[in-house]
Amino acid sequence: MKRIIIFASGSGTNAENIIKYFQKRKNAVVTHVFSNNREAKALKRAHALKVKALHFDRSALYDSNEVLNILKDAAPDIIILAGFLWRFPEKITSFFSNKVINIHPALLPKYGGKGMYGHHVHQAVIENKERESGITIHYVNDRYDEGAIIFQAKITIPDESSAKNLAAAIHQLEHKHFPIIIEKLLFAGED
């Protein structure tokens, strides 16, 4: 049984979608949801789905090895960042090399980097009159949104689209593709 750990900072709809997807499978399970935000709905969603939910502070992630040691003990096959807003520390990405992936709500390398998340991304895409947007699933390194791209899915943006409409369309892409790509990564080369 492959083990998945999710990091999320906010509402956790992607985390919930991933948990439910793998609850229907017999080959992988989400064991934990971690959050840097004590009030994150992601933690409540995890509890409701009987998944361990843990909150940590900045010091536990960056100044000590507390989060790293919990991850080592949990032995995940993959770590998923699903709306996790802090830069992931190099000590974790190097220990879990090519096992940490993120989803970004734009077509990287455009609209990535510090501060480019959620509505900030969609607003920038609309203001720049882009004709298309999408999602990027990528490996995580020590720089925001610069890890190797694993998968992208695109949509055409209608002429009168708002950032809110674009966000809803991107969210649908995330829910459709993210669990499937996670599953493919977990079982790559095992055919």
- For the annotated catalytic residues, the residue numbers are 104
Query: Which of 106, 76, 97, 114 has the alpha carbon at shortest distance from 171?
Result: 106
- φ and ψ of 135, to 5 deg: -125, 155
Place of tokens 């947007």: 133
Say whether 64 sits in a helix, a strand or coil.
coil
**125-130: Cβ within 8 A, 24+ apart:** 125/157, 125/163, 125/166, 126/157, 126/161, 126/162, 126/163, 126/166, 130/157
The answer to whether the Cα torsion of 16, 180, 74, 56 is positive or negative is: negative
3: which strand partners? Answer: 29
- Dihedral of CA atoms 144, 73, 99, 91 in degrees, nearest 10, equals 40
